[in-house]
C-alpha cells in the first residue's frame, strides 16, 4: 500500500485536467489540498497496526492486503464500515 507522500507524488505526475472557477489547475494545487490531505490520511492511517482492521481488507481478487477505500463493498456491513472510516479520517485530517 502507498503512503500519503506517494499519493501526492502520483497526483503531481498526472495530466492537468481539473478546472476551478474556470481555470485549469494542477492536481496538487492549494485549492485541492484539503481533499488531498484527507485521502492521504487514509493511506498513512491504514499503515498503523491499530487501524488495520478498519482501514485494510484482503482483496477477494488478489488475496493481498489493500486499502479498504479501494475495496469493493460486498455486504451491508462493509458499507457501514465505509461511513465509520470516512468519519475517522476526516476527523484526523480536520476536513
- The confidence score (pLDDT) of residue 63 equals 93
Sketch the domain layout of the chain as residue ranges: 4-93
Q: Give yes or no for residue 87 having a pLDDT over 70.
A: yes
Angle of CA points 22, 14, 56, to nearest 5°: 110
pLDDT band, very low/low/confident/very high, at 29 (cuts 50, 70, 90): very high
Helix (H, G, I), strand (E, B) or coil at 50: helix
The answer to whether the predicted template modeling score (pTM) of the entire model surpasses 0.85 is: no
The matching CATH number, chosen from 1.20.140.10, 3.10.350.10, 1.10.1510.10, 1.10.3140.10, for 4-93 is 1.10.3140.10
**Confidence band for 88, pLDDT divided at 50, 70 and 90:** confident
Instruction: Read off the C-alpha cell for 20.
Output: 476551478
Amino acid at each position: 500500500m502507498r503512503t500519503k507522500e506517494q499519493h501526492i507524488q502520483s497526483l503531481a505526475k498526472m495530466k492537468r485536467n481539473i478546472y476551478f472557477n474556470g481555470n485549469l489547475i494542477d492536481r496538487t494545487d492549494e485549492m485541492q489540498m484539503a481533499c488531498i490531505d484527507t485521502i492521504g490520511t487514509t493511506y498513512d492511517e491504514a499503515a498503523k497496526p491499530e487501524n488495520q482492521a478498519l482501514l485494510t481488507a484482503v482483496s477477494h481478487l488478489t488475496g493481498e492486503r489493500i486499502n479498504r477505500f479501494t475495496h469493493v463493498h460486498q455486504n451491508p456491513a462493509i458499507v457501514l464500515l465505509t461511513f465509520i472510516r470516512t468519519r475517522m479520517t476526516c476527523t484526523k485530517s480536520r476536513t
